[in-house]
């Protein structure tokens, strides 16, 4: 009977999901606002608009330069090219108006243009006399109210009707014709790196083009594909060899080598290996406008489908205009959808980004007919209602963890109770607590998001705990147990000196304060997007709840809450995964078929090339995982506290093995969840929302697809993952301050005084972390804080290196330890700043340099004789 109810429940949930996917209406993604029309051009009384102008934004001004049109009556006049530069900007009265920005060197239209921090780069174009290869840059001078121009290296050959996009400082131009005739359409792909402007070889580079036919009137767009920034060449047309055209619908993606973006150096291997064909457009969109929107969408706002191309002379004024359907392409799932209509299909123009807005300026609305209309597009936030049941479930979760804190309040009679749980914690609970501590809310959201966007290559990082566990149990754990540590850094004083201990302690406390702020702030962004709570409210909910149960219940409350949170977050992820899988056509088989076909289970990159250190090659991920997993299990106070919260060495070892046993299926679950999200949104691309970042794909699914109550449970899981990290940071940082500073120097005289201090420090640190998270939400201090966290984070590998140096060598001394730690941090800073080494290797680099330099210096500097009993693997009492 119970099984019957279970299957009925699952069936109803799947039916609910299917109903949502089929009945949900397509939201309006953009708000369209019409700006002041383009003024009349020289010798034209009316504002007719132009097609093929250079369009861009610089210095907070919209620049529309050149272009061509047909004077009225359009079917009785020849095309006229223009050299006028119009600028839409604030005047001296701070009112937005059109300004005469001067003149181009000659009338020109149908070139390509991109906006860059250096100015608006204009490339190629033509007029009645021919096609050009000129490249120049335009800059709006607000003082002189004029557009200034400087020349840039010319194109490799004349080019018009092509299009360009930019990644960083690198401009890519694709397609176009070398003359007016479409029969001269090219298969060209050129690159100009603006960062090399002062170099002697500053010029356009010809790259191997896409593996498809030549074209003009194509769209070229830059967007991220989940792994890196890419260039997309979309649609266009080519000649049929006679007087007709062949409308194109093919799409190609170019992924630049990493060193192109980082250093401007192009590897001379065949660049065709960086191209891949993608899903074709549902219809031709030649001469259209397109832009990257959000983190992984490309929207196409116009373009001709070619269906009436051959009848233009016949239809003339009766031509209905170009199709007004708007399309969206998602780079990760490789899917196209139709997504509403545009007010007018303005083709043969260019799109520019003005702040958070997109600008479509002028263009052609039907053959020979131009428009002076300027549209501003702003992305619309589409927030759906978060049901009462969801809020009730979240409220019940927070009530439960606060009650746990109250329950354990009376059990804390000393700092040993408060920081180590009186060493009466069951090993199973302590092991689950280690698991929950290591799995922060960032991980709970980020692992599915990363797997959704890429594949399973990074799973080896989590798998490293299986390799590290025996090493930790047999070589690290005994040293903390032998000295009966409350603070992990007590070992460093016994092995080296008090300065090393205090250096490590202070670094840890500063890092944990920052970590609390980040772990509250980043999930709050995601939660605010899907719940009725603001970012500030989410931060306060997490911060206050954590402060209450940590301050009242101490480590026991933290550990048991972590155990509860483990169940909540794993249950939420498992339920989400099952609902997705069984909602797919053919269920699990359909899920696996799609995932395998799209390469989503790819796990190992067998890359042994000279540049593999910058990629996710197998050896990089493997060594990086070893280092990343080694740091917390050897030098993190929060983890060491769990080792010390149980009664015996054997139980302490069991906490580590428990974490391993839980981590294996949990890792598989979270990576599978990411793959399931990919399969789901590949099947239902219309359910994606460009206002959500890729990292928030799991919260998007939770809010939009899961039934009320279930969604609340999964959101509670995200809060739970954040709470486990926040509570650990509060309690462990307080333990370090009380133990390594106040108790070490005997600044208080009684145990009750230290216990009151422990509670006060826990509350104070929690309030400080919450305040900093609120500061993130209300002020632009993120870049400064990122720099601070980067500096403090440099010592993570160094601290791990200090423990390894002390445990595995006899000769290491305090001077060597200090110099080694500083060297580890400095070298890692240099590696981050001046090399392309993968971030995955940072921990391993810091550890290796600290141990090597520390040992070498110790060999040079004499060591003072001291008692090393139970402090190294050579002197530990194994009885």
pLDDT value of residue 290: 97
Residues 207 and 126 in one domain: yes
Q: What is the pLDDT of residues 138-147, one digit of tens each?
A: 999 988 889 9
Q: What is the pLDDT of residues 721-730, one digit of tens each?
A: 787 888 889 9
Q: What is the pLDDT of residues 630-653, one digit of tens each?
A: 999 999 999 999 999 999 999 999
CATH number of the structural domain spanning residue 472: 1.20.1730.10
Q: What is the pLDDT of residues 429-452, one digit of tens each?
A: 999 999 988 877 667 788 899 999
Q: Give the range among 9-23, 333-347, 644-658, 678-692 with minimum mean pLDDT.
A: 9-23
Pairing of the two strands 84-90 and 205-207: unpaired
Last residue of a domain, one of 328, 353, 379: 379
Are 844 and 468 in contact, with CB atoms under 8 Å apart? no
Residues 770 and 795 in one domain: no
Residues 711 and 681 in one domain: yes
Residues 665 and 773 in one domain: yes
Contacts 24+ apart (CB under 8 A), 609-612: 611/258, 611/259, 611/836
Number of domains in the chain: 3
Last residue of a domain, one of 726, 748, 779: 779
User: Smallest Cα–Cα separation from 35: which of 53, 52, 49?
Assistant: 49
Residues 203 and 336 in one domain: yes
End-to-end CA distance of the chain: 55
Residues 667 and 750 in one domain: yes
Mean pLDDT of the chain: 88
Q: Is the pLDDT of residue 11 over 80?
A: no
% of residues, the chain, pLDDT over 90: 61
Q: What is the pLDDT of residues 486-495, one digit of tens each?
A: 999 999 999 9
Q: Is the pLDDT of residue 83 over 90?
A: yes
pLDDT value of residue 781: 52
Q: Which helix (H) or strand (E) holds 68?
A: strand 68-69
Residue 282 lies inside a defined structural domain of this protein: yes
Tokens, residue 225: 């594909």
Average pLDDT over residues 576-586: 88
Residues 771 and 790 in one domain: no
d(CA 477, CA 656): 9
Residue 4 lies inside a defined structural domain of this protein: no
User: Smallest Cα–Cα separation from 626: which of 508, 474, 469?
Assistant: 469
User: Smallest Cα–Cα separation from 206: which of 181, 180, 187?
Assistant: 187
Q: What is the pLDDT of residues 245-255, one digit of tens each?
A: 999 999 999 99
Quote the crossing angle between the two packed helices 535-583 and 710-737, to the nearest 10°.
Answer: 130
pLDDT value of residue 23: 47
pLDDT value of residue 25: 54
* Res. 866 pLDDT band, cuts 50 70 90: confident
What range does the domain containing 825 cover? 786-879
Residue 255 lies inside a defined structural domain of this protein: yes
User: Smallest Cα–Cα separation from 641: which of 571, 710, 510, 731?
Assistant: 731
Residue 108 lies inside a defined structural domain of this protein: yes
pLDDT value of residue 525: 82
pLDDT value of residue 45: 79
pLDDT value of residue 19: 47
Q: Is the pLDDT of residue 281 over 90?
A: yes
- DSSP 3-state of 514: helix
Average pLDDT over residues 675-691: 94
Cβ contacts of 59 within 8 Å, gap of 6 or more: 89, 139, 140, 141, 142
User: Smallest Cα–Cα separation from 522: which of 693, 389, 638?
Assistant: 693
Q: Is the pLDDT of residue 204 over 90?
A: yes
Q: Is the pLDDT of residue 1 over 70?
A: no
Residues 481 and 363 in one domain: no
Average pLDDT over residues 275-293: 96
Residue 111 lies inside a defined structural domain of this protein: yes
- CA 666, distance to chain mean position in Å, is 22
Q: What is the DSSP string of 113-130?
A: EEEETTEEEEE--EETTE
Average pLDDT over residues 258-268: 45
Residue 22 lies inside a defined structural domain of this protein: no
Residue 97 lies inside a defined structural domain of this protein: yes
Last residue of a domain, one of 361, 379, 397: 379
Helix H, strand E, coil C: the string for 314-377 is HHHHHCCCCCCEEEEEECCCCEEEEEEECCCCCECCCEEEECCEEEEECCEEECCEECCCEEEE
Residue 395 lies inside a defined structural domain of this protein: no
pLDDT value of residue 21: 47
Q: Give the range among 22-26, 162-166, 337-341, 806-810 with minimum mean pLDDT.
A: 22-26
pLDDT value of residue 442: 65
Cβ contacts of 148 within 8 Å, gap of 6 or more: 138, 139, 140, 141
- DSSP 3-state of 278: strand
Residues 733 and 856 in one domain: no
Identify the residue with better confidence: 260 or 508.
508
Residues 375 and 425 in one domain: no
Q: What is the pLDDT of residues 808-827, one digit of tens each?
A: 999 999 999 999 999 999 99
Q: What is the DSSP string of 647-683?
A: SSHHHHHHHHHHHHHHHHHHHHHHHHHHHHHHHHHHH
CATH number of the structural domain spanning residue 111: 2.120.10.80
Q: What is the pLDDT of residues 353-386, one digit of tens each?
A: 999 999 999 999 999 999 999 999 999 887 777 8
pTM score:
0.89
- DSSP 3-state of 249: strand
Residues 144 and 254 in one domain: yes
Torsion of CA 446, 222, 351, 378, to 10 degrees: 0
Q: Which residues of 664-689 are buried (b: 16+ CB within 10 A; e: fewer)?
A: eebbebbbbbbbbbbbbbbbbbbbbb
Q: Is the pLDDT of residue 262 over 70?
A: no
Are 806 and 476 in contact, with CB atoms under 8 Å apart? no
Q: Is the pLDDT of residue 266 over 60?
A: no
% of residues, the chain, pLDDT over 70: 92
DSSP state of 473: I
Residues 758 and 842 in one domain: no
């Amino acid at each position: 009977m119970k099984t019957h109810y279970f299957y009925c429940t699952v069936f109803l949930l799947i039916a609910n999901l299917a109903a949502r996917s089929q009945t949900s209406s397509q939201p309006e993604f953009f708000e369209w606002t019409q700006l002041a029309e383009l003024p009349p051009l020289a010798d034209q009384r009316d504002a007719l608009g132009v097609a093929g102008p250079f369009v861009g934004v610089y210095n907070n001004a919209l620049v529309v330069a050149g272009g061509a049109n047909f004077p009225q009556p359009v079917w009785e006049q020849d095309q006229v090219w223009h050299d006028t530069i119009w600028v839409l900007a604030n005047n001296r009265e701070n009112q937005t108006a059109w300004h005469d920005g001067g003149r181009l060197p000659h009338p020109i239209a149908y070139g390509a243009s991109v906006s860059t921090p250096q100015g608006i780069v204009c490339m190629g174009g033509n007029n009645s006399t021919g096609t050009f290869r000129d490249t120049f840059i335009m800059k709006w001078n607000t003082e002189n109210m004029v557009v200034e121009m400087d020349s840039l290296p010319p194109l490799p050959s004349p080019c018009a009707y092509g299009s360009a996009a930019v990644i960083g400082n690198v401009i890519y131009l694709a397609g176009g014709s070398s003359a007016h005739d479409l029969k001269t359409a090219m298969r060209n792909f050129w690159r100009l790196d603006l960062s090399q402007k002062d170099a002697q070889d500053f010029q356009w580079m010809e790259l191997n083009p896409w593996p498809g036919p030549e074209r003009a009137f194509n769209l070229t767009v830059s967007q991220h594909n989940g792994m890196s920034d890419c260039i997309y060449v979309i649609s266009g047309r080519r000649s049929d060899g006679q007087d007709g055209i062949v409308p194109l619908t093919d799409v190609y993606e170019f992924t630049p080598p990493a060193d192109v973006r980082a250093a401007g150096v192009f590897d001379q291997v065949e660049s065709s290996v960086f191209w891949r064909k993608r899903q074709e457009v549902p219809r031709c969109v030649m001469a259209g406008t397109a832009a990257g929107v959000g983190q992984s969408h490309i929207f196409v706002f116009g373009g001709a489908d070619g269906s009436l191309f051959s009848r233009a002379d016949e239809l003339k004024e009766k031509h209905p205009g170009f199709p007004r359907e708007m399309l969206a392409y998602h780079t990760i799932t490789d899917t196209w959808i139709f997504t509403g209509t545009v007010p007018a299909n303005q083709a043969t123009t260019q799109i520019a980004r003005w702040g958070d807005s997109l600008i479509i300026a002028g263009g052609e609305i039907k053959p020979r007919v131009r428009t002076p209309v300027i549209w501003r597009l702003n992305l619309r936030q589409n927030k759906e209602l978060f049901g009462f049941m969801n809020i009730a479930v979240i409220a019940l979760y927070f009530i439960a963890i606060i009650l746990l804190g109250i329950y354990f309040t009376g059990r804390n009679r000393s700092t040993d109770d408060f920081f180590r749980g009186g060493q009466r914690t069951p090993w199973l609970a302590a092991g689950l607590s280690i698991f929950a501590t290591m799995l922060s809310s960032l991980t709970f959201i980020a692992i599915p998001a990363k797997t959704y966007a890429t594949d399973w290559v990074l799973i080896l990082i989590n798998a490293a705990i299986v390799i590290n566990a025996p090493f930790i149990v047999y070589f690290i754990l005994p040293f903390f147990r032998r000295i009966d540590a409350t603070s992990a850094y007590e070992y460093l004083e016994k092995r080296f000196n008090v300065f090393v201990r205090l250096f490590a302690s202070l670094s840890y406390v500063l890092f944990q304060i920052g970590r609390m702020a980040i772990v509250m702030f980043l999930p709050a962004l995601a939660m605010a997007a899907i719940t009725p709570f603001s970012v500030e409210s989410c931060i306060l909910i997490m911060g206050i709840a954590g402060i209450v149960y940590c301050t009242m219940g101490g480590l026991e409350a933290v550990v048991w809450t972590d155990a509860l949170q483990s169940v909540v977050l794993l249950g939420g992820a498992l339920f989400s995964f099952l609902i997705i899988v069984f909602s797919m056509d053919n269920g699990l088989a359909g899920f696996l078929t799609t995932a395998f076909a799209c390469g989503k289970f790819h796990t190992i990159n067998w890359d042994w090339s000279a540049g593999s250190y910058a990629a996710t090659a197998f050896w990089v991920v493997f060594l990086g995982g070893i280092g990343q997993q080694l740091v917390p299990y050897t030098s993190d106070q929060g983890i060491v506290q769990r080792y010390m919260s149980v009664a015996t060495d054997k139980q302490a070892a069991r906490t580590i093995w428990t974490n391993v046993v839980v981590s294996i299926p949990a890792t598989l679950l979270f990576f599978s969840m990411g793959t399931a999200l990919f399969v789901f949104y590949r099947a239902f691309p219309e359910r994606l929302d460009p206002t959500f970042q890729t990292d928030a794909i799991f919260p998007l699914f939770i809010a939009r697809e899961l039934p009320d109550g279930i969604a609340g449970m999964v959101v509670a899981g995200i809060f739970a993952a954040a709470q486990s990290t926040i509570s650990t940071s509060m309690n462990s940082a307080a333990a370090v301050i009380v133990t390594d500073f106040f108790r070490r120097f005997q600044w208080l005289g009684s145990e009750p005084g230290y216990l009151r201090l422990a509670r006060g420090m826990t509350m104070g640190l929690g309030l400080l972390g919450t305040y900093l998270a609120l500061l993130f939400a209300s002020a632009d201090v993120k870049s400064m804080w990122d720099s601070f966290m980067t500096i403090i984070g440099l010592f993570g590998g160094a601290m791990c290196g200090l423990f390894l140096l002390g445990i595995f060598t006899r000769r290491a001394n305090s001077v060597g330890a200090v110099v080694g730690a500083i060297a580890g941090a400095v070298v890692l800073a240099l590696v981050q700043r001046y090399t392309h080494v993968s971030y995955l290797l940072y921990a391993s680099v810091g550890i290796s340099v600290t141990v090597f330099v520390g040992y070498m210096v110790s060999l040079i500097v004499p060591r003072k004789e001291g008692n090393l009993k139970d402090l190294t693997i050579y002197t530990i009492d194994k009885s």
